[in-house]
Structure 1
Amino acid sequence: MKRDLLVVDEDNHLNLAAIDPMPSPAELRTRLPLAAPAAQTVATGRSVVRNILDRRDPRLLAVVGPCSIHDPAAGLEYARRLKQLADELADTLYIVMRVYFEKPRTSVGWKGLINDPRMDQSFCIAEGMERARRFLLEVNQLGLPAAAEALDPISPHYLGELISWVAIGARTTESQTHREMSSGLPMPVGFKNGTDGSVDTAVNAILSTSHPHAFLGIAADGRTAIVRTRGNRYSHLVLRGGSARPNYDSVSVALAERALAKAQLPPNIVIDCAHGNSYKNPALQPTVLSDVVHQIKQGNRSIVGTMIESFLEAGNQTIPADLSQLRYGCSVTDPCVDWATTESMLRDAADALRGVLPGRCS
């Protein structure tokens, strides 16, 4: 596409270097269409997660996968392994793959596959969006539903039809734009507590998202449009810990339940084993999940899901100048548990909960 260069000496364009056109969502969908098997995966994924939130399905939702996708080949190898494990544990756990393409940055850093797919600060976003859509199509074609973080309000128009569960991150839960957007999304949305650990912002976000909104957005053809939503009643709380302390423990969960009840919201809580709950130390993620399982065995009914940051290899790595030096299957953002640990965590959780979960729907 032709680049629309701006005259940088005009006051209105003082800090703009260029505006690069993007293909419209409709154009990208036409180029990379959603085939029937993948569409069925998405539809089933959304339906099952809704049923879990409504207590019609007793299984525990498990959102599992890399902190971010930077290498689609390694991501697909991971997806194939996860699909096999998901089928094996399907009687107790409903496993959805974490497929994150956009990363919020506190200051600077790699912003994800969509923003910088070549990992060289060339910011070929059109290429990144196409690679992201292709990857999601392949994951769903395996029969494995996908989860993502909705970081900007434009990407869902390109990718939303391929996603079964969405998270709104701790930095954006307070954003009116994200609350309005989430009110119209077709999948369940998990709002994370604020970076300070407080759940009030997320509770307010859930309330806002459950109501109709009207706001400026884009249509499938890329034109600016007025978007009118009906509200999303399947928004819920994700506890991810805070800057001061974790919040996966039974006291924190009870306080979160009280906040939801006060707001007259369903007691649906997903617990993130990573981030503040593990102090970003992947070695602590199994401890968090073990505590979650123990709470459920002791009678907790509000914990409906968990999240695990996991990849083929443990830990993380910095992005080298020579990309050929990247370690295959190792995160370039937050550190992850490796595949062997992931298998152990999920098998142990399923074994411990197999006779417990059905009673939560009675």
Structure 2
Amino acid sequence: MAQVRDLHVTKNIPLPTPATLMQEVARSNEQAEFIANSRNTIRDILEGKDKRFLLIVGPCSIHDTKAGLEYAQKLAKLADEVKDKVYIVMRVYFEKPRTTVGWKGLIMDPHLDGSDDIAEGLRQARTFLREVIDTGLPTATELLDPITPQYIADLISWSAIGARTTESQTHRQMASGLSMPLGFKNSTAGDLVAAVNAINAAGRPQTFLGVAESGVASAVTTSGNPDCHIILRGGENGPNFSADDVALAIDKLQSSDVSDAIMIDASHANCAKDDTKMPAVYRDIISQRAAGNDKIVGAMLESHLVSGNQKFPQPLEDLTYGQSITDKCIDFDTTVTLVKETSKALS
């Protein structure tokens, strides 16, 4: 008989079910309460009920959980200092979209050696999220694979859909069922239409193929996620953080009858992926908010213990501690300066 399936599959390794992993790396009642409260705070900021500035800040990706936890502990102290004016949520990004190939994140390759031990990656992700929450910080991540939320979403306060996947029907459907507020980035080309359509679609009931907590394939029906918003991150045609760009975005959102809350990413195409330009972009965003544009509800910063990034792959013993192996980040001292400036500017 001719072989007509799995012609190019070399492995198919079953994973623990979401229910099994959530029991193994369980959230406490206190952690669940914290996540629920942080999500409500973010919703209130998006709706203008809470006037604090929402800042999503942290490493481009988590590849070393020891350095990541040190960063979280430092950030938690900073967050407490500015909590009256700035609500800080830590980037805890475990999945990285690749234009071609490359390291795909802690969940996919936790050992950083191409062994793709996804079960261990999911285990490490849940463990690290609990550790961050225990510092007193809410958590943020980009959800890339539609199965991943079943394993970690209960420990996430805010999530994003990236520029490459905003146009994806699968991700819009997934977003419609998520329990946390969520931002859609404008497309890699820079246009807003895909993100506006995504907000619209994710806010509506959807039925799609999914995975139940028991691990079996299922038909998932949602009520729609009302807490979605846009993220301006620039594009192939250049940045889109200026006051004129923001005004155009507000008009587009309002005319499309979706949320006109705007978050602006100071990294990615808005700073041409140059960490030395990121502070100036961020300061421009804050100046607009301080001047009275309260539609700008928040911003994103890529930040780590050490600035810049380093080549990967390379021998793990040669990696610089606390420095990104994906996009360039600003260092922690610069982060402290920018966050304190924000608190002062918005006082």
Q: How many residues align?
A: 347
Residue 108 of structure 1 corresponds to 101
1:96 paired residue among 77, 83, 89 = 89
Q: 1:205 aligns with which of 186, 198, 201?
A: 198
Structure 2 gaps of 5+ residues are: none
Counterpart secondary structure, 2:5: helix
Matching residue of 1:48: 41
Give SS of 1:62's match: strand
> RMSD of the alignment, in Å?
1.1
C-alpha contact (below 8 Å) 2:186/2:230 kept by paired residues: yes
Residue identity opposite 1:89 in structure 2: V
Q: Deviations over 1:282-312 (max 9, x none)?
A: 1111111111111112221210000000000
**1:12 partner SS:** coil
Report if aligned partners of 2:228, 2:259 keep a CA contact under 8 Å in 1.
no
1:228-276 CA distance string (max 9 Å, x none):
1000111000000001210000011011001101111121000000000
1:320 Cα deviation after fit: 4.3
Aligned partners of 2:17 and 2:47: how far apart in 1?
36
Other-structure match for 1:121: 114
Q: Write the mapping of 1:349-360 to structure 2, written as runs, cut at 5 A.
A: 349-354=342-347
2:67 to 59, 70, 74: 74
The superposition leaves residues 304-333 of structure 1 with CA deviations (integer Å, 9 ceiling, x where unpaired) of 000000000000001243211110000000
What do the CA deviations read for 1:97-143 (whole angstroms, capped 9, x no partner)? Answer: 00000000000100000011111111111111100110001111221
**What displacement does 1:349 show?**
1.0
Counterpart position of 2:223? 230
Distance of 2:59 and 2:286 partners within structure 1: 22
Q: Is this contact kept in 2: 1:38–1:143, CA < 8 A?
A: no
Contact 1:39 1:140 in 2 (8 A): no
In 2, the alpha carbon distance for the partners of 1:264 and 1:328 equals 46
Q: Find the aligned partners of 2:187 and 2:123 in 1 and give their Cα distance.
A: 31
Equivalences for 1:1-362 in 2 at 5 Å?
10-354=3-347
Give the secondary-structure state (helix, strand or coil) at the position aligned to 1:282: coil
Larger mean Cα displacement after TM superposition, 231-240 or 39-48: 39-48
Q: Higher mean Cα deviation, 292-301 or 155-164? A: 292-301
Q: Please state whether the residue corresponding to 1:327 is helix, strand or coil.
A: coil
In 1, the alpha carbon distance for the partners of 2:216 and 2:193 equals: 35
Looking at structure 2, the residues matched to 62 and 111 of structure 1 have their Cα atoms a distance apart, in angstroms, of: 25
TM-score, scaled to structure 1: 0.94
- Residue 160 of structure 2 aligns to a residue whose secondary structure is strand
Distance (Å, rounded) in 2 between the aligned partners of 1:50 and 1:168: 17
Letter in 1 for 2:321: Y
Percent identical pairs in the alignment equals 50
Amino acid at match of 2:46: L
Q: In structure 1, how many angstroms separate the alpha carbons of the residues matched to 2:78 and 2:254?
A: 35
Cα distance between partner residues in 1 of 2:331 and 2:34: 26
Partner Cα distance (2:306, 2:323) in 1: 5
Runs of 4+ aligned residues of structure 1 deviating over 2 Å after TM superposition are none
In 2: Cα distance, 1:301 partner to 1:94 partner: 15
Matched letter for residue 12 of structure 1: R
Q: TM-score, normalised by structure 2?
A: 0.98
Three-state SS of the structure 1 residue aligned to 2:311 is coil
- Structure 1: how far apart are the matches of 2:34 and 2:321? 28
Q: Residues 97 and 145 of structure 1 are in contact (CA less than 8 Å); yes or no, is this contact kept in structure 2?
A: yes
Secondary structure at the residue paired with 2:277? helix
Distance 1:304 1:231 in 2: 22
Which stretch shows the higher mean deviation, 35-44 or 90-99? Answer: 35-44
Runs of 5+ consecutive residues of structure 1 not aligned to the other structure = 1-6, 355-362
